[in-house]
Homo-oligomer: A and B are copies of this chain.
């Protein structure tokens, strides 16, 4: 049964991503997710306690996928700053390429309640891990971690500004690059 449950979960997340890619947060309607995934509405809620959590878990998958891609094809660049900038620009490009899906997931990140704090924490930790990993091999120093934390915070705020229509997509990459170069010397 574990197999069919994993398949169900997968279908639900896939349906979520597809609907999100079509029209963002508002297009991810739980009834539609259920229908498209071929499960009952109650089943969606058995697997994901809320719409936000559903989108957060989907987002976590994306971030983990990014981490895998980066381990397969490590960032290029001579200095730590260059490598971090490369990683951040790659991540930004991936996300601006699917604006609506990103908008949906970022909105879930920005409006998370306490019930979803663990999911938000996992996304944020994954992102800081990706950034420290780009700096250099081996264990990151305390300062490395602090820098990565700041960068992941800038990353989130920039994305919020972008999906909220405050900034254009290029602003995200530029803000991140400038922040990275100011913080990593």
A residues adjacent to B (C-beta < 8 A): 107, 109-114, 116-117, 120-121, 124, 146-147, 149-150, 152-154, 156-158, 160-161, 164-166, 175, 178-179, 182-183
Evaluate contact between A149 and B175: CB separation under 8 angstroms. yes
A119–chain B nearest beta-carbon distance, Å? 10
Rounded to whole Å, the gap between the CB of A21 and the closest CB of chain B is: 17
Give chain B nearest CB distance to A160 CB in angstroms.
6
Q: List 25 A-B contacts (CB under 8 A).
A: A107-B113, A109-B110, A109-B160, A110-B111, A110-B160, A111-B111, A112-B164, A113-B164, A113-B165, A117-B164, A117-B166, A120-B161, A120-B166, A124-B161, A146-B182, A149-B175, A150-B150, A150-B179, A153-B158, A153-B175, A154-B157, A156-B156, A157-B157, A182-B183, A183-B183
